[in-house]
Every structure is written in structure tokens, then in C-alpha cells.
Chain A
Amino acid sequence: MENLDAARLQMAFTLIFHIVFACIGMVMPFFMVVSHYKWLKTRDQIYLTLTKSWQKGVAIFFVTGAVSGTALSFELGLLWPEFMKHAGPIIGMPFSLEGAAFFVEAIALGFYLYGWGKLPERFHWITGIIIGLSGVASGILVVAANGWMNAPSGFDYVNGEFLNIDPIQAMLNPAWFTQALHMTLAAFTATGFAVAGIHAYQVFKKRKVELHKKAFKIAITFGAIAAILQPISGDISAKDIAKRQPVKLAAMEAHYNTEKSAPLYIGGIVNPKTQEVKYKLALPGMLSFLAFGDFDAEVKGLNDFPEDEHPNVPMVHYAFQIMVGIGSILLFAGILYFISLKRKKWFNNHKYWLFFVVLAPMGFIALEAGWIVTEVGRQPWIIHKIMRTKDAVTPMPGIVFSFYTYVAVYLTLSVAVTWLMLRQIRVLNNSNY
């Protein structure tokens, strides 16, 4: 394996893990404070048990997120030193603010976890809110830094040098808002459906039904609302990418030739050699409409750009299809949940719970697929149109060994975390509230 490929795989691998930990650590505090609020309001013991159980989940995911995040903050430099040498100062602003937000989160978490029965109830609850808010702020700031890689701004690039650096303009780059909005909603959708799915499984298995139903309702409400809002954000993102990164949009749709009234492909098998997409469903004019709000608009095809600036088209296309496909299913499931609130008898139906169990991993699969679209779709650039990924990689040979080590450690960790969560649920089911 080449050094560049090994470095890319290691980065992708660690990010794929970190994103899961970070999203759960960022969204679960909200479930926890809602349950905590209900406990304070109703003094129903079930909510206290649930809050305490979720808080353990938050603690475990916060720490795994923090350590994998620490590893990433070094890895950026370890794997891409040339990138960090130039980009580090420019995108430092969101990272330093993220550090601050993360710190606030850690402090609030300290108060929250150890504050039971020691801090005034209201203050204690508020520290829970702070955990959630600072977590979301961290997420938005990190995504803003990624946005800069897609839409570099806040500097002049003259003869290979980065001059007149403006860190604030770099942070508020043209991509930050669309990406941050899309990612925040995705985090809520993915975590909401995942947590709801786990509790749905417990209801399905008829264990502590009352508790798990309450837990399910809290989690799915967040997930459903986010899933219903997501298409709006997706539309904003598509229009933004059509303008800024036409190559990425073309790869997402496996759209090779520039044409007016371009069709939207759903599914299909891409053959990059013949530039054909087989077995697809083509909706005439829809791509033009979705990208530019006009059925007749011209959409640039990949062939309009030099071949050495193309990303891996099939991978981007498939990832995009998976993301949109799952997003649509979750949108439908979200609406279904709100209907079920009116038709209470659905709650007694086995299949209702099974449906949500099946959906549990879906949000995260869509979220990872979305990041593959963003990251692989930007290739061969590490900084769009400024620096190529191959020019940023570390000169140290043998990254492949470091890659295998990370794979071994992270796989072990995920097995361990899953096992720990299972034990948590088992204990919860045996508790007497």
C-alpha cells in the first residue's frame, strides 16, 4: 500500500469512529436533560433512573470522543504536516474556539456527573444544558474548519504562499453555514434514531416496557424533528455545492456530460471507463431544478474538468445515493412517529417497535455516507483548488503500520464500548425504580 493511501485510510478510519462518538456525546445530553426535567417536574422515579442511565452513556461517549479527538488533533499534523503548516494558522480560529467550547463542556460534565444531591437542583440541571449546548458549539466549529477546506477563503494565494491571512473570514467561509446546519441536523437524526432503536428493542422484547417507552419517546422526538427538517438543509447544500464545487456535484450524480435540463439519477451502477450509469431511474430536468431552481438550467458535467481533478466518481455517487435514500426513509419514519401519537394502538403493535429497531443504525450509516460524499468528493484536493492531498502527506514511510495499529485499537474499543453499553442496559433492566 502506498503511503498516501495508508494515510488517507487511517484518517478516514479514525474520523469514521470519532464522528460516531462525537455525535452521541453531543446529542445525548439533550435527551438526558429532558428526562432530568421530567424527573424534576413529575418526581416520577422512572425518569430519574433513565437520566442516570443516560448520563453514564454521556460520560462514556464524552471520554471516548475526547480521546479520539485528542488523537485526531495530532493526526492532522502527523499525517498531513504540509497541510497543517500552511492551513493551521488560517483555520486556527474555529479550532481554538472549539477547544474553549470543549473545555466548557468538560467542566459542565464534571458538575453534572458529580453534582447529584450536592448542587442546587436547578443549577445542576442547567449544567446539563451547558453540556449539550457547548457540545453542539464544538461540532459547528469543527465543521466550519472542514468547510474551509471545501471553500478556502480569508487569504490571498500568491506564488504558492498564503498571504494577508484573515482568520475570521476563514472561519466564516462560504461553506460553514450549510455544512454546519446539515451536520447538526444529521447528528440529531442519527443519535435520535439510534437511541430510540435501542429502547424500541427493549420494548419489543418486553423488558421494562414503561421505562423504555418513555426513553424511546424522548429520543425519537429529537430524531424525527431533525429528520423532517433535513431535506430543507440538503436542498440549501446542493445549491451551494452546484455553485462552489461543480465537480463534486457532478460526481455525486455521476453526471459526465454538460447538459441543459439535466436528469436526476436515482441509484444505478457507474462505469467510469465508459462513463455510463446503468440500471438507474432518471427524472428528467430534476438535477437542473435541484441545483439551480430551474428545470432548464445547464449543469456542468465531469468532462468539462481536467481528469486529474476528478474524485472517485462511483464511490461518491453510491455514498450520495445511500445518504439520500436513508434520509428519505428516516423522514418517512419521523412523520410516522408523529402520526402514531394520535393512534395510540400502534404502540401495542409488535411491528411498530421492530420497525424502529431496524432503523437504529440507519442514521449513522447515512451520516458516514454523507461525510464520504464531502471528503472523497473534494479529492484530489485537500484544500479545494489550492493544495493536493498527495502534496500534504507526511514524508515518513511506513504509515501502513500505524494504520493497522489504529484499526486494531479502534475495533477493540468499539467492541468494548458496545459490550459496556449492553451491560448498562442489562443493569437498567434489573433495576427497581
Chain B
Amino acid sequence: MFARFTAGAFTGAAAIVLLLAVPVTGAEAPALPGMVIVPAGIYRPLFRGEKDPKEISVPSFALETVPVTNVDFLEFVRARPQWRRSQVKRLFADPGYLQHWTGDLDFGSPENGARPVVFISWFAAKAYAAWKGARLPTTAEWEYVANVGFTSVEGAKDVDFRHAVAKWYGTPAPDVLPQVGAGRANLFGVHDLHGLVWEWTSDFNSTFVTGDARGDTGVDRQLFCAAGSLGNGDPTNYPAFMRFGFRSSLKAAYTVHNLGFRCAKDL
């Protein structure tokens, strides 16, 4: 029932009409509160091995419109004590876990409530999503939606969108994060994929290991120097390079001051 979209090549007036006909922002009941239904589409990976497909089909799924907040996460740690700061296993979260909170069940000033939760490990994010009856988005899902612009499904052709995305990388990290939802929504009604925090994906560290052409020792090497521009879809998509670079610098127990997450759900 959903039209198929590609983030890479999308042309023609007829297709745009189709897009506008898609109930993107709530004409249909969302799978969960706070989520929108993302129409099925195609993601063209930035990096791929020789034997990997050029395109990955992304079935329609539900995605939270904003990242998970401190308020949301407090609810979770109340219900699941093993994920409280003092009780989490070191195996699942490094010592920085929730370090911006003032206590196990206290995220500090009330304004922090609507800010994205950060200093979160992949394990914790995954556990939160499961508790919600949801899951983390895959990298393909996340990137597919992140490449959708404000006014065009092809963000690369949306000048305002491109500038907004690039701006984040040219400005210093703020002392205090903005609250979620402040960023302009993309065409699918999703906020803050750019310009707020990095976000975990379910397969954050699998991007470079699907091709066997470079052998097992080449896991990360593609990201370095000029090798980083070999075999990728669009060598001028610097923000995407940076996202892939960031993800592959992570390990699942890591926590970072500007790394949060949002949930997705199958339909």
C-alpha cells in the first residue's frame, strides 16, 4: 500500500504526487505514540563491498519522531533497576554511563527532561527499546530516513536541508543540548536526525564487514584516508561519511556525551 521511494534517484511529477498521497504524518494510526510510519523505500549504502547489493530495500516501518529523552529513560530505569547508573554491569556500559544525571533516578534540572538522553550504551538503548516493545532502527532504516530532506525525498537536492545538515559539523558542541523536537521535521515528519545528537543503530558496527573483498583485517580501514572514498556511493556526502566514521569508532558499551537513540518498530 505504500509507494516505494529511493533516496538516491527519485524523479518525475507522478512520483511526487504519489508521495503526497502517502499518509505520512498520522492519517493512519501510528504503531506507537510518538511514531510515524515511514513508507517503504530503497537505501543506497555509502559503503559496500564488491558483492554487496547497490540497494537495500527498506520495508515500511514505524520510527519515533524525536530521540528518547531523559524523562523517557527515567521511566525505564525505574522499571528496570539493573539499568540504573549504580547497578549497570560494566560489561554493558562504560563508566561514563548516564554521567550527566545527578543520581540513579534523577536527571537534574527539570529542563533536562525534554533533552535527549545521552551517555547511553548500545546495550542500554537496546534494552530500553525492548522494554517499549520496539527495537533500534537498522543503519539502513536510519540512513534512509536521514537522507530525506525538508521538501524533497531526496535530501541531496534540497539546498536548505543540505545546509542545515552541514551546519552542525561546523559549530562547536553546545554546553547544554537543545530539547528534542526543536529541529525542523523532514518530509516524513521526523525531527532531529541531524543537528542534535548522534544516534545508535542496531547494526552500528556491521557496516564494513559485509564485504569479504578486503579480508577480515580490513574491517575499518576503508574509513581511513583516501581508501574511504573507494567503493562508496557518493564521495561528496561528507555528513554521511562522518556518521559512518562515528558509528565505526564505537563499541557497544561506549557512552558519549552527544550519542543518543530513538526506537523503531515493525509494522
The answer to whether A and B come from one shared complex is no
